[in-house]
Structure 1
Amino acid sequence: MARRGLLTPGAPHRVAQQFAELHRWGFGLAGELRQAAARSPGQVAVIDETRSLTYAELVDRSARLAVALPVVAGNRVGVLCRNSAVMVETLVAVTTVGADPVLINTGLSATQLAAVIDAQDLSVVVHDPEFSDVLGDFPGAIPSSALDAMISAVPSQDLSPPSRTGRTIVLTSGTTGMPKGAQRPTPGGFSPLCSIIDRIPLRAGVRMMIAAPLFHTWAYAGMQIALALRATIVLRRKFSPGGTLDAMRDSGATALIAVPVMLQSLMELPPEASLPALEIAAVSGSALPGGMATRFMDRYGDVLYNLYGSTEASWASIATPADLRAAPDTAGRPPHGTVIAVLAGDGEPVPAGETGRLFVGNEMLFEGYTNGSSRELHDGLLATGDLGHVDAGGRVFVDGREDDMIVSGGENVFPGEVEGLLADLPDVLEVAVIGVPDDEYGQRLAAYVVLRGTASLDADAIRDHVRSNRARFCVPRDIVFLQSLPRNATGKVLKRELPR
């Protein structure tokens, strides 16, 4: 904390008030916001495309909104908004009254949204007006355009902490079925923050562009970190590479919170559009494709940090620029307070370098799904659902999802390994590889390839490249060229929507 500027001297009365607010409210969103406002009330807290708010203004508006919203402690409140100051106000307001915010993916269909509202027992959904049609006639819908009037109708007031601590509920990605609600714990102290900023050198007061959608676990964590650091959060409703760079230049942001596909888009911009002031680019949510880590750092400098984690496990490991230079496909090392185990099917540890099931332990493991189910635990460690290995230097590598590995002619094949190989081809913009049924071999690989511009790479050249670098059973027999890969709102490829 000292190295990141959190313990620098300040006015004694402000420092005393800062720690008093943390003592009263705890380390949830409402408490982190109040401690920041107590220490730095005039600091700009959030900038979006329409306005900026100081920490004092954000506390005042979120407190008045907490009174105005028709919710009480224990209610579940859906938040269906794009990145904006309104969304931040709403999330803080909901937790201020002890209700549970449910972060809703903006890409859900009307059918999926109706199922989420029912499964999560939502009493209210605060939504951007553009989502009115997908909400239909849900009686608890409150358009975000109405919030200013609701806030103005309530006088400023100093609220007391609620009788219960709200639990943030993050929906799983739903790439393989209906999203489930994962209950996130509230931090119990400084340790979770220290685990992250020990590896990712975000400093107090940093200006941070959160490009990933705030309903995503990593972006939401970025917002929590920003409040703890008394940082300035920069937001745009929708991601575009050019718009993101413009917003960072205009705001003076030097840190970027993103998902890997966004880096891929930034790399497609011409070199003169690069952001020379970028000091930290921290990504999570999916694997970095191919040699993206090296290419990105060759262009922007050694500023890239890759966090491997999940909605259920929070973080598992963090790769620093030095890790990524040494091994571009690594997920890094577990930070302070985190344990990773690579286990065989019988629960016994496997030797370094051998692939097994990845299990994680830290103080921010999720508290279970809202439907009462959970993930497998082994000696207090949570199954990530991934297969991977740890090298002799302690670096973690994710080899693929447990349910993605295929058996072709008796050989185990990880589609991700072939994806990474093909992503390195200069003519390939993006690629996805999956297993499909095969009458002779049980399963075979199919590759879905998006080429750059006027590239003329053909299927035989792709097969020859794999054959030259991998075993025979890794060569995809099916090569399908697409204009783009189907992705959800956080950039994950929807493999179920790939044409068979």
Structure 2
Amino acid sequence: MKVSHLLESVKAIGVLRARGVSNPKTPLETLRTIKESRVYGPQAALVRHSARVFPDQVALADERGELTYRELDEQSTAVARGLGEAGIGEGTVIAVLARDHRGLIISMIAAGKLGARIALMNTGFAKPQFAEVCEREQVRAVLHDSEFLGLLDALPADLPRYLTWVDAGTEIPADAVTFDDLIAANSTEDLPAPSKPGGFIILTSGTTGLPKGAPRTKVTPMATAQFVDRVPFPKQGTTMIVSPIFHSTGLGTWLVNSILSNKIVMRRRFDAEATLAAIDEHKVEMLVCVPTMLHRMTDLPPEVRAKYDLSSLKVILFAGSALTPELSVRATEAFGPVLYNLYGSTEVAIATIATPAELAEAPGTVGRSPITCEVRLFDDQDQPVTEPGAKGRIFVRSGAPFEGYTDGRHKQIIDGYMSSGDMGHFTESGLLMVDGRDDDMVICGGENVYPQEVENLLVERPDISDVAVIGIDDPEFGKRLRAFVVLEEGHRVEASELQAHVKANLARFKVPREVVFLEELPRNATGKILRRVLVDYELSQ
């Protein structure tokens, strides 16, 4: 097994060269970047690399305009100097609560230059969640957008805080320090390198409780190889990231695009039509999003999409929540064969990626594993599941190892493969299909039901826009299914009609006993349904 892993690593080096990540003509620059990554962490090392080789290439474009790689490198150094003078340095945990813009990017790079650990906070946090996570992660400074000033009331008054972005018309405290202040007041001369990288704390989605902290101190070049092995990233081109960068997919794709010296377009808030307009304006070649965003862009009327020239778009890479077969087909019809479905998690990193051809073969598939990754299925007795079509628990071996949660817990590992927490099966041709969360399985009258199967069936109907199915305690059957349905605008349908539709297509025990109609489903920033909110939902009498 160790020999095969070594061979995979050698092949991965070839992938990096073939995709233009490493240049054999400049071996010293490649070695320097690898060496700096081991000290600064990838976020600072990769930007420093692009600032050396393509200093005048635009690094990012947000609502405030554009910054080149040289400017991004210099401004992050000035911010790092200002934070360092305030006592923030190696080992310090910094929380950043910011939307996608230059302030978030500069925060991450500056933390790397200081050797500080940066905790990427969810912009959807309520005050109690934010305060609890800051306490658990031992945060010693907060970098934040002005819109989140109210959340900081729950933190100690003497905790240092800096504004990464100030909305127009916002009244900020008289003693507030902004990133613009730090950039204006500090030198851009290089700081002494830290002795070791501070790393990241990436929070899990928290769909069933308080998000857990998943630290990553080091990111190997193999992680980049996993992305570019199955996805054709631009090189010195343009990518738009609308998936939140505080989550794994947004962060990972920003890092890969940075080492490829791409221009990265970002916006603080997602809007479906505005995203198409930005693709047209910036001639975007790759779009990174979550399935909910893809759904909203696909739902735009054809005449709205036709207003924009999308011919530059070669890749739509998405991850974060399940892709339904129905959306896979409709989005391909709307945007062409450009969809790439990435499956992974904060803990296991990348597991598989589906290409456009694979999505055409099996709509909704998550595809195959990239280089240095491997997926296996195990049953409840931890025995391998190998028969096509047979369901099992999904386990992943990855070149980006998980270090364990910050609270000391860990995921189950079998023979070097880590649990993803999902159930799935392989098709006859070896494509992975995800059937739902392991802990979402509902036992109804002794029968195992995976709600995603019912959800996929219902959402195929033209009168349904969105759906979630959960298990509810039942004194007779143990659990019963309850469906939450969002109808397409202008449509009306009775609960009995939807129940009859499920009964006509699936086993009787998979029919929801109750159907609740909502205006929208509760989702987090990556589009995952907040099932704990639905479990606590009280039906009106």
TM-score, normalised relative to structure 1: 0.96
Report the counterpart of residue 179 of structure 2 in structure 1: 147
1:131 CA drift (Å): 0.3
Report the counterpart of residue 289 of structure 2 in structure 1: 258
Report the counterpart of residue 378 of structure 1 in structure 2: 414
- Cα pair 2:234 2:286 within 8 Å, conserved: no
Are residues 1:107 and 2:124 paired?
yes
Give, in whole Å, the separation in 1 of the partners of 2:36 and 2:346. Answer: 28
Partner residue of 1:20 out of 3, 12, 32: 32
Cα RMSD after superposing both structures: 1.6
Report the counterpart of residue 402 of structure 2 in structure 1: 366
Q: Give the stretch that moved more between structures: 477-486 or 266-275.
A: 266-275
Report the counterpart of residue 74 of structure 2 in structure 1: 60
CA deviation vs aligned residue, 1:180-204 (integer Å, no higher than 9, x gap)? 1101242233x22122111011121
SS at match of 1:461: helix
Report the counterpart of residue 114 of structure 2 in structure 1: 97
Give, in whole Å, the separation in 2 of the partners of 1:184 and 1:356. Answer: 28
Amino acid at match of 2:35: H
1:21 CA drift (Å): 4.0
Partner residue of 1:121 out of 132, 138, 146: 138
Report the counterpart of residue 436 of structure 2 in structure 1: 400
Give, in whole Å, the separation in 2 of the partners of 1:431 and 1:418. Answer: 9
Report the counterpart of residue 342 of structure 2 in structure 1: 307
Give, in whole Å, the separation in 2 of the partners of 1:439 and 1:378. Answer: 36
Give, in whole Å, the separation in 2 of the partners of 1:21 and 1:474. Answer: 54
Amino acid at match of 2:115: G
1:7 CA drift (Å): 5.6
Give, in whole Å, the separation in 2 of the partners of 1:391 and 1:280. Answer: 25
CA deviation vs aligned residue, 1:74-98 (integer Å, no higher than 9, x gap)? 1110010000011101111011111
1:18 CA drift (Å): 5.7
Partner residue of 1:475 out of 501, 505, 511: 511
Give, in whole Å, the separation in 1 of the partners of 2:385 and 2:357. Answer: 26
SS at match of 2:261: coil
Give, in whole Å, the separation in 2 of the partners of 1:360 and 1:386. Answer: 11
- Cα pair 1:62 1:93 within 8 Å, conserved: yes
Structure 1 gap ranges (5+): none
Report the counterpart of residue 371 of structure 2 in structure 1: 336
SS at match of 1:144: strand
Give, in whole Å, the separation in 2 of the partners of 1:22 and 1:5. Answer: 15
Give, in whole Å, the separation in 2 of the partners of 1:205 and 1:108. Answer: 35
Report the counterpart of residue 210 of structure 2 in structure 1: 178
Give, in whole Å, the separation in 1 of the partners of 2:192 and 2:275. Answer: 38
1:248 CA drift (Å): 2.0
- Cα pair 2:286 2:315 within 8 Å, conserved: yes
Partner residue of 2:470 out of 409, 431, 434: 434
Report the counterpart of residue 351 of structure 2 in structure 1: 316
1:469 CA drift (Å): 1.0
SS at match of 1:430: strand
Q: Give the stretch that moved more between structures: 274-283 or 30-39.
A: 274-283
Partner residue of 2:487 out of 430, 443, 451: 451
Assess, with a 3 A threshold, how the Cα gap between structure 1 residues 166 and 267 changes in structure 2: closer, same or farther: same
Report the counterpart of residue 91 of structure 2 in structure 1: 74
1:440 CA drift (Å): 1.7
CA deviation vs aligned residue, 1:366-403 (integer Å, no higher than 9, x gap)? 21111111111111111111111122322111111111
1:160 CA drift (Å): 3.4
1:149 CA drift (Å): 0.9
- Cα pair 2:81 2:187 within 8 Å, conserved: no
TM-score, normalised relative to structure 2: 0.89
Report the counterpart of residue 50 of structure 1 in structure 2: 64
Report the counterpart of residue 11 of structure 2 in structure 1: none
- Cα pair 2:220 2:400 within 8 Å, conserved: no
Give, in whole Å, the separation in 2 of the partners of 1:131 and 1:166. Answer: 25
SS at match of 1:24: helix
- Cα pair 2:374 2:397 within 8 Å, conserved: yes
CA deviation vs aligned residue, 1:212-253 (integer Å, no higher than 9, x gap)? 111111101111111111111101001110121222222221
Report the counterpart of residue 302 of structure 2 in structure 1: 271
Are residues 1:84 and 2:115 paired?
no
CA deviation vs aligned residue, 1:324-344 (integer Å, no higher than 9, x gap)? 111112111111111111011
1:365 CA drift (Å): 2.5
1:404 CA drift (Å): 0.5
1:55 CA drift (Å): 0.5
Give, in whole Å, the separation in 1 of the partners of 2:487 and 2:282. Answer: 34
- Cα pair 1:74 1:164 within 8 Å, conserved: no
SS at match of 2:147: helix
Give, in whole Å, the separation in 1 of the partners of 2:195 and 2:23. Answer: 33
Give, in whole Å, the separation in 1 of the partners of 2:228 and 2:106. Answer: 25
Are residues 1:30 and 2:44 paired?
yes
Amino acid at match of 1:269: L
Give, in whole Å, the separation in 2 of the partners of 1:406 and 1:325. Answer: 30
Amino acid at match of 1:366: F
SS at match of 2:516: strand
Report the counterpart of residue 6 of structure 2 in structure 1: none
Are residues 1:234 and 2:234 paired?
no
Equivalent residues in 2 for 1:458-469, closer than 5 Å: 458-469=494-505
Give, in whole Å, the separation in 2 of the partners of 1:115 and 1:6. Answer: 39
Give, in whole Å, the separation in 2 of the partners of 1:373 and 1:232. Answer: 38
Q: Give the stretch that moved more between structures: 35-44 or 270-279.
A: 270-279
Report the counterpart of residue 361 of structure 2 in structure 1: 326
**Percent identity (aligned):** 40
SS at match of 1:316: strand
SS at match of 1:291: helix
Are residues 1:286 and 2:321 paired?
yes
Give, in whole Å, the separation in 2 of the partners of 1:103 and 1:330. Answer: 29
Partner residue of 1:246 out of 263, 277, 282: 277
1:20 CA drift (Å): 2.7
CA deviation vs aligned residue, 1:7-52 (integer Å, no higher than 9, x gap)? 6688x6xx74464344334461111111111111110000001121
Amino acid at match of 2:450: F
- Cα pair 2:358 2:365 within 8 Å, conserved: yes
Give, in whole Å, the separation in 1 of the partners of 2:203 and 2:22. Answer: 35
Partner residue of 1:425 out of 461, 465, 488: 461
Amino acid at match of 1:207: T
Partner residue of 1:159 out of 179, 187, 191: 191
